[in-house]
Amino acid sequence: AVPAVLRAALLRQGGEAAAREAAEGLERRAPAWAFRPGPDPAQWLALGLAVAAVPLVLGAPAWIQAACLALLNLLFLAMTAFRLGALCLRPAPLPEAGRAEEAELPVYTVLVALCREAPVVPRLVRALAQLDYPRTKLDVKFVIEADDPDTAAALAGVPNPGWFEVIVAPPGLPRTKPRALNLALPFARGEHLVVYDAEDVPDPGQLRAAAALFARSSPRTACLQGRLVIDNTGDSWLTRCFTLEYAALFDVLGPALSAWRLPVPLGGTTTHFRTATLRALHGWDAWNVTEDADLGLRLALAGYHVGDLPLSTLEEAPARLRPWLRQRTRWMKGFIQTSITHSRRPVHALVRLGPLGLLAAAAMVPGTVLSALAYPVLIAVAAWQFLARPLPADPSFAANLLTGLALVLFAAGFAAMLLPAALGCIRRRWWGLLPWIGLLPVYFVLVSAAAWLGLLELIRAPARWNKTEHGLAATSRSGRLQ
């Protein structure tokens, strides 16, 4: 039988078992790495004690309040140091390598999970067809849902569809991207595997470059993270700020974390894996709506390293507030889920990651959520302090220390917000975007709103996947998104 026909028959006959495995495989094989069933009793107890401690601290003597505030300031300052330290490191360029012969290249699997993405299918297929990799070594798989006839029809209408395969995911819960990827993972033929999103336009040289990097790297380098670039920057002020945010994250901070060999919360796309390692880690958590960040921490806890792949993938950002907020709410909810998952065994995490690695993981995942939740409150308090209550002259060391820490943290926080975005723009030579950096403090008020909505949605609908509609870009810097 033709292999694709055989795989389709297997899914038809064993669809229920396959759906159950995709949803529950990680939880059954490695329950400590799975989000479900949520917080354990020790976490609930810790949360209750933390909430109960707040009124106690507020009613405590002034020196106890000052000590607690100083500790919090130092903790947030240490977390900010990662973003500021990344400014000092210039990412290494892609190493020079001769062009490998076709026989030397490994089989490479490309996974793309699609759900109601018919409008972007032609562009996606064109982009993947332009990958500079031998067709005989490409294993391209589109995963679609059983109740999505429009996307199925769009794929069926592509000329010469023999070079890719469509996998129809059996019905089941949760309806998430990681569940779809888990369904396809057992059928992956490649030694390496990359995940792309429906709207992606990757650099044609990515697969050859990633294969060369994997060949030269230690087996402990289990993943390579490519650079994500927003291409519809001119659509709105939201897409401009989104572009700045991605420039900071993927052109400055991510490469620095990789160079320092610290935990890297992965992006949801352009993540290249050694397939055997991915299977050994049981794939993705189907119940975590930021499966990428979760898998990045899981790789670090298992002793693996995420490398930097300095080649870009063009992406489309939501240009209007409502879809942007829905997408960001899902991201923040997933960051909370990831924080819950990997804080169940803090001593184990400290042993596996080391103090610096644990601090980096805390800064990038729970720290992102906590800073977003507190951002508008702290900005309001700071404004009140600066405008209504000028700094008093105080001869005591303790009072000056606390005031100094607060001022340093305030300045460092804004520097950590603005400078990585500015450096990312400079590296990309996006000079016209530099003036928009002044809008980032306003943009992060919206990020804070998304964090609060994500917290609420975690309680009401933890597995809900807020779908982002693609194919709406009105502008394209490269011309390849239109």
Cβ pair 310, 91 in contact under 8 A: yes
Helix runs in 30-110, H state only: 41-58, 62-85
Number of domains in the chain: 1
- Most confident of the ranges 56-60, 320-324, 408-412: 320-324
pLDDT of residue 303 exceeding 90: yes
Containing structural domain, residue 17 = 1-482
pLDDT at res. 420: 96
Q: Is the peptide bond before 37 cis (omega within 30 degrees of 0)?
A: yes
Q: pTM of the full predicted structure?
A: 0.94
Q: What whole-number percentage of the chain has pLDDT above 70?
A: 98
pLDDT digits (tens, 9 = 90+) for 134-160: 999 999 999 999 999 999 999 999 887
Tell me the mean pLDDT in the region 358-362. 93
Of 76-90, 143-157, 190-204, 359-373, which range is least confident?
76-90
pLDDT at res. 108: 98
Q: What whole-number percentage of the chain has pLDDT above 90?
A: 76
Q: What is the pLDDT confidence band of residue 117, given thresholds at 50, 70 and 90?
A: very high
pLDDT at res. 403: 78
CATH number at residue 98: 3.90.550.10
pLDDT of residue 125 exceeding 70: yes
pLDDT at res. 54: 82
Token reading at 189: 């033929």
* DSSP states of 139-196: EEEEEEETT-HHHHHHHHTSSSGGGEEEEEEPS-S---HHHHHHHHGGG---SEEEEE
Tell me the mean pLDDT in the region 338-354. 96
pLDDT at res. 52: 86
Tell me the mean pLDDT in the region 369-389. 84
pLDDT digits (tens, 9 = 90+) for 175-218: 999 999 999 999 999 999 999 999 999 999 999 999 999 999 99
- What residues contact 100, with CB distance under 8 A and at least 6 apart? 208, 211, 212
Token reading at 317: 């950002």
- Strand-pairing partners, residue 309, are 226
- What residues contact 184, with CB distance under 8 A and at least 6 apart? 111, 113, 141, 143, 167
C-alpha–C-alpha distance, residues 268 and 292, integer Å: 5
Tell me the mean pLDDT in the region 406-416. 88
C-alpha–C-alpha distance, residues 423 and 427, integer Å: 6
Tell me the mean pLDDT in the region 14-20. 92
Tell me the mean pLDDT in the region 282-297. 97
Q: What is the pLDDT confidence band of residue 394, given thresholds at 50, 70 and 90?
A: low
Residue 305 phi, psi dihedral angles, 5° rounding: -120, 145
Token reading at 400: 């000056």
pLDDT at res. 406: 80
pLDDT of residue 392 exceeding 70: no
pLDDT digits (tens, 9 = 90+) for 238-279: 999 999 999 999 999 999 999 999 999 999 899 999 999 999
- Where in 334-393 does DSSP place strands (E)? none
Q: What is the pLDDT confidence band of residue 365, given thresholds at 50, 70 and 90?
A: very high
Tell me the mean pLDDT in the region 355-366. 93
